[in-house]
Amino acid sequence: MSLAGKVAIVTGAASGIGLAAARRLAQAGAAVAIWDLNEAGAQAAAADLVKQGHRAIASRVDVSRRADVDAATQLAREQLGPIGILVNNAGMSAFTPFMDITEELWDRIMTVNLKSVLLCTQAVLPDMLAAKWGRIVNVSSSSAQSGAATMVHYSASKGGVIAFTKSLAQELAPTGITVNNVPPGFVDTPMLRESLKDKVDMIAAASPMKRAGKPEDMAAAIAFLASDEAGYITGHTLSVNGGRYSN
């Protein structure tokens, strides 16, 4: 599988699934723009890829702000070339009893997890339409498939990502652009560790595979969906969850 000559943007790529995806796409030959609110982390990730001989740049981006997204897209286009691959990975999680969810928290999660997918996709789509080729891979969540107590706001936002994927895939199907999503299961990332503290290993031990997923597990699926080999797959939900949820 080769992505030589392709340019990818990966959001939320300073750590976790986004970082693993950026590395996997670079290893396949793509030039990668790493976006994250954590500017130092994004710069370090890009520098590491460059040190390995890959083409990469980093940008501090708040994916919920159109001005940030448009400016970073233009920078990636100028320094790396037209965008052919977009991985909408940036997001935020929260565990909140339903009656404690405030309007402010609801709006923030919807903006970061769902509105960002709109903004980033609209920013890169002209390049893909011009090339008659594009790959959009959205990172959703198995919580949106199965439901999750104390995560109504998060699950609803990620359910929106899945619906967004299916609908845009149908709209873009004749254009050479595919739109798919990967809903991770229980993946051992810094965000998960921060949310669950010391419960990660206990929950992993109770799962079908008796282990948490690795960011690299998600990255492999993302890279496949970004490749030419997946050219006849669109609107698909590729669950990567170690058997936690099946449909």
Q: pLDDT at position 57, please? A: 98
Q: pLDDT at position 207, please? A: 66
Where along the chain do its domains lie? Answer: 7-188+215-230
Helix (H, G, I), strand (E, B) or coil at 187: strand
Nearest to 236 by CA among 147, 174, 168, 185: 168
Task: Dump strand ranges (E) for the chain.
Answer: 7-11, 31-36, 56-60, 85-88, 134-139, 177-182
Q: Give tens-digit pLDDT for 9-64.
A: 999 999 999 999 999 999 999 999 999 999 999 999 999 999 999 999 999 999 99
Within 10 angstroms of residue 100's Cβ, the number of other Cβ atoms is 8
- For domain 7-188+215-230, the CATH class is alpha beta
**CA 189, CA 15: separation in Å to the nearest integer?**
8
* Residue 213 clears pLDDT 90, i.e. is over it: no
What is the pairing mode between strands 31-36 and 56-60? parallel
DSSP assignment of 124-144 equals HHHHHHHHT-EEEEEE--HHH
* Residue 193 clears pLDDT 70, i.e. is over it: no
For the chain, percent of residues with pLDDT exceeding 70: 90
For the chain, percent of residues with pLDDT exceeding 90: 82
Beta-ladder partners of 103: none
* Residue 202 clears pLDDT 70, i.e. is over it: no
Write the DSSP symbol of residue 37: S
Average pLDDT, integer, range 109-132:
98
Q: Give tens-digit pLDDT for 81-116.
A: 999 999 999 999 999 999 999 999 999 999 999 999
Mean pLDDT, the chain, integer: 93
Q: Identify the residue with better confidence: 70 or 240.
A: 70
Structure tokens at 117: 């997918």
Structure tokens at 150: 């104390």
Q: Are 9 and 33 in contact (CB under 8 A)?
A: yes
Structure tokens at 185: 């299961």
* pTM attached to this predicted model: 0.94
Catalytic residues: 154
* Residue 204 clears pLDDT 70, i.e. is over it: no
Q: pLDDT at position 243, please? A: 73
**Alpha helix positions (H), the chain:** 16-27, 39-51, 66-79, 103-110, 116-131, 142-146, 152-172, 190-196, 200-205, 215-225
